[in-house]
């Protein structure tokens, strides 16, 4: 049999080495750790990457340079193409290298602020979070040397705290004398206030400005807290100037945080901001199976399917459903069957009846999100800062309730149904062109449903 004439692997290996010497280690880890040589074809090399997002980013950032290096090395024009690999294989590879590392290291006493369960090893990677997880991994391996600060944003229960603490746990294990502080923004604010009351400002400053890695969770809590923002601004500058790593999480993009000083906002946006999306069905199944494996329980696949089909937007709720089932099974000393799961989790799955969502609720949630009053949204004013949130509210009303355009129009200051149709069209157009739109709408819909639950 004729041997493959086009085997460019040797050029690829050299190209990688060359690339590694040209960019920071952190960048290299982030973009090249999960990229593998796949095969060669005539005048082309195929590489395996974890997602289309990765492929697009690599194309944009490195493709020209990579192809140039290959040209220099081989003297021929060889193009690079990508194959997207399924998630399971990638997960296995990551886990294996993580495992080897943990086995090698001796255990240190545990870090008191970090939950030891929040590790990279326990974090399941899917399309929705691969970028955020890989960036986190790269940062943990190389703190302070690239993306600084790193900010992860996304809805409730999607793994922000888990990833943030995984950075802490991994770096804590990897580097001997590293000083890592993890706080929620709320704790940061409370400690700051206490330090003023007790005149211990110097201790507070020393605590936060002498770290190697500062992890602050839920910075949306800082909205409207001017003094704390100012303090964080100075802490930020001190750490940034000495190349210390900072990582933050937020429940929404920084651009949508309200009552935040411009200078702090620009600091948050300076490094890398990445969003976490809700996991798709396959990733939910993988996450739940991992939890089942960790808890060492026996759950039929049909039950896993049932849970994952019903809980879509929140990984914490997936876990809660599982915990509830296990507790029940232990209590009555029975195996978990599909029938038991259906019965036990009925309330858990019960999405609020969408017909019960009122336009009122939608208006309240949307108004609050945009810092407007309820009456602004219902009223007649047409300036842009109101018109856009109003269009969003109308769009959501049509999406998740049964009200007609006429009925929706009446609730929005007696507007005509064509106005509502026009608003929906505007938002639909925007959904096609603006990638921030869908996460925003999803976030609002979730908040509206949760509001009904309260
Ligand atoms: P957030 O901070 O975004 O509200 P958390 O980080 O607290 O969410 O995550 C909620 C729960 O879901 C945690 O127990 C976490 O371990 C789990 N979780 C979230 N994403 C994943 C994932 N990709 N793999 C495994 N567990 C996850
Ligand atoms: Mg959290």
pLDDT recorded at residue 86: 60
Compute the distance from residue 117 Cα to the ligand 1 centre, in Å: 10
**CA pair distance 215, 168, nearest whole angstrom:** 8
pLDDT recorded at residue 93: 46
Q: Render pLDDT for 14-23 as a digit per residue (tens, 0 to 9).
A: 999 999 988 8
Q: Render pLDDT for 44-96 as a digit per residue (tens, 0 to 9).
A: 999 998 888 788 888 988 999 999 999 988 888 999 999 988 654 444 444 55
The share of the chain scoring above pLDDT 70, in percent, equals 92
Nearest CA to ligand 1 atom 9: 159
Is the per-residue pLDDT at 102 higher than 80? Answer: no
Ligand 1 atom nearest 158 alpha carbon: 3
Compute the distance from residue 317 Cα to the ligand 1 centre, in Å: 10
Nearest CA to ligand 1 atom 5: 159
Give 154's strand partners. 276
Segment holding 20, helix H or strand E: helix 9-22
The average pLDDT across 181-200 equals: 95
Please, are residues 156 and 444 in contact by the beta-carbon 8 Å criterion? no
pLDDT recorded at residue 100: 54
Is the per-residue pLDDT at 452 higher than 70? Answer: no
Compute the distance from residue 319 Cα to the ligand 1 centre, in Å: 9
CA atoms within 13 A on the CB side of 363: 18
Is the per-residue pLDDT at 363 higher than 50? Answer: yes
- When pLDDT is cut at 50, 70 and 90, the band that residue 99 belongs to is low
Return the percent helix, strand and coil in the chain, to nearest 5.
60, 10, 30
Is the per-residue pLDDT at 229 higher than 60? Answer: yes
- When pLDDT is cut at 50, 70 and 90, the band that residue 351 belongs to is low
- Site to probe by mutation for ligand 1, drawn from 90, 128, 157, 286 as the one with most ligand atoms within 8 Å of Cβ, is 157
Compute the distance from residue 156 Cα to the ligand 2 centre, in Å: 7
pLDDT recorded at residue 108: 78
Give 184's strand partners. 217
Residues 6+ apart with CB under 8 A from 40: 4, 6, 7, 8, 9, 46
pLDDT recorded at residue 90: 43
Does the C-beta of 322 come closer than 6 Å to ligand 1? Answer: no
pLDDT recorded at residue 105: 53
CA atoms within 13 A on the CB side of 120: 30
Please, are residues 282 and 249 in contact by the beta-carbon 8 Å criterion? no
For the chain, the structural domain boundaries read 9-89, 130-276, 281-344, 359-452
Q: pTM here? A: 0.69
pLDDT recorded at residue 301: 95
Does the C-beta of 160 come closer than 6 Å to ligand 1? Answer: yes
Domain 359-452 falls under CATH 1.10.1750.10: yes
**CA pair distance 255, 371, nearest whole angstrom:** 13
pLDDT recorded at residue 104: 52
End-to-end alpha-carbon separation of the chain, Å?
70
CATH code for 281-344? 1.10.8.60
> Which residues have beta carbons under 5 A from ligand 2 (an ion)?
160-161
Q: Render pLDDT for 273-329 as a digit per residue (tens, 0 to 9).
A: 999 999 999 999 999 999 999 988 889 999 999 999 999 888 999 999 999 999 888
Look over the chain and give the mean of its residue pLDDT values, rounded to a whole number: 89
Looking at domain 9-89, what is its CATH homologous superfamily? DnaA, N-terminal domain (3.30.300.180)
Compute the distance from residue 32 Cα to the ligand 2 centre, in Å: 28
Looking at domain 130-276, what is its CATH homologous superfamily? P-loop containing nucleotide triphosphate hydrolases (3.40.50.300)
Give 250's strand partners. 153
pLDDT recorded at residue 420: 94
Bridge-based pairing of strands 44-49 and 79-84 is parallel
Q: Render pLDDT for 145-170 as a digit per residue (tens, 0 to 9).
A: 889 999 999 988 999 999 999 999 99
């Amino acid at each position: 049999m004729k041997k493959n004439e086009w085997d460019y692997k040797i050029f690829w290996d050299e190209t990688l080495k060359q690339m590694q010497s040209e960019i920071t280690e952190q960048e290299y880890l982030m973009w090249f750790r999960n990229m593998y040589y796949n095969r060669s074809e005539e005048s082309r090399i195929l590489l395996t990457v974890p997602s289309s997002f990765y492929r697009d980013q690599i194309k944009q950032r490195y493709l020209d340079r990579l192809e140039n290096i290959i040209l220099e090395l081989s003297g021929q024009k060889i193009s690079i193409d990508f194959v997207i690999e399924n998630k399971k294989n990638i997960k296995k590879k990551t886990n294996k290298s993580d495992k080897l590392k943990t086995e090698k290291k001796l255990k240190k006493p545990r870090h008191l602020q970090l939950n030891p369960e929040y590790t990279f090893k326990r974090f399941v990677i899917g399309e929705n979070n691969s970028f955020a997880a890989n960036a986190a991994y790269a940062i943990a391996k190389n703190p302070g040397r690239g993306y600084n600060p790193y900010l992860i944003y996304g809805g409730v229960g999607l793994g922000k705290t888990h990833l943030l603490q995984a950075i802490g746990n991994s770096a804590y294990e990897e580097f001997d004398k590293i000083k890592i502080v993890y706080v929620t923004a709320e704790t940061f604010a409370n400690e700051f206030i206490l330090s003023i009351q007790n005149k211990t400002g110097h201790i507070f400053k020393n605590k936060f400005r002498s770290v190697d890695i500062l992890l602050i969770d839920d910075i949306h809590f800082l909205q409207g807290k001017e003094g704390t923002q100012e303090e964080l601004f100075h802490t930020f500058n001190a750490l940034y100037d000495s190349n210390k790593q900072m990582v933050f999480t937020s429940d929404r993009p920084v651009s949508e945080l309200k009552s935040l000083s411009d200078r702090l906002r620009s600091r948050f946006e300076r490094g890398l901001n990445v969003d976490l999306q809700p996991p798709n069905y396959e990733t939910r199944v993988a996450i739940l199976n991992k939890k089942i494996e960790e808890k060492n329980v026996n759950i039929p696949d049909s039950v896993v399917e049932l849970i994952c089909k019903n809980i879509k937007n929140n990984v914490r709720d997936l876990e809660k459903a599982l915990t509830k089932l296990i507790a029940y099974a232990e209590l009555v000393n029975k195996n978990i069957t599909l029938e038991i799961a259906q019965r036990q989790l009925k309330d858990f799955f019960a999405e609020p009846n969408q017909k019960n969502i009122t336009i009122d609720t939608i208006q309240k949630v949307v108004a609050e999100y945009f810092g407007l009053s309820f009456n602004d949204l219902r009223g007649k004013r047409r300036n842009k800062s109101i018109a856009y949130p109003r269009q969003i509210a109308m769009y959501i009303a049509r999406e998740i309730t049964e009200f007609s355009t006429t009925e929706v129009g009446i609730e929005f200051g007696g507007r005509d149904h064509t106005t509502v149709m026009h608003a929906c069209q505007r938002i639909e157009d925007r959904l096609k062109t603006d990638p921030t739109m869908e996460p925003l709408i999803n976030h609002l819909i979730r908040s509206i449903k949760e509001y009904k639950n309260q």
